[in-house]
A = this chain, B = another copy of it.
Amino acid sequence: MATLGLIEYSEASPEVREIYDDIMATRQTDWINNFWKALAHDLPTLRRTWKGVKQIMAAGALDLLTKEMIYLAVSATNQCGYCIASHTAAACKAGMTNAMLGELMAVVGMANETNRLASGYQVEVDERFRTPK
């Protein structure tokens, strides 16, 4: 169970409820997942994290689906069980098909493999890759 337990909406302070309300409105859902309920024990972290996620995940130069797939790729690389589960759901909701999931995981697997081959063989960076864009 979560270290400090989960704070449900009904027992939350007005400040926490305000953030819960914004999460539900932004995501167009009627529930709050456990991650936020666990963070709610530390209001500054809850507020800062939600503001950051809301800003970062808004469509911009990249659309939401691409961002959710990147989030899932990072979570699978770090092997964070909670985040794999929650961002698989989020990516599916944003339009990820099973075929896209399969290709995403294939890239994640291959990148994790070649990262270690490059490091393990001590490959030096090519001169052409060193210049800033």
Contact = CB atoms under 8 A, between A and B. Distances in A.
Interface of A: 1-5, 31, 33-35, 38-39, 41-42, 44-45, 48-49, 51-53, 55-57, 60-62, 66-67, 69-89, 92, 97-126, 128-133
Contacts of A116: 76-77, 79-80, 105, 108-109, 112
Contact of A3 (B44, B67, B125, B133): B133
Contacts of A33: 126, 128-129
Contacts of A60: 99, 103
A83 B114 contact: yes
Contacts of A105: 42, 45, 116-117, 120-121
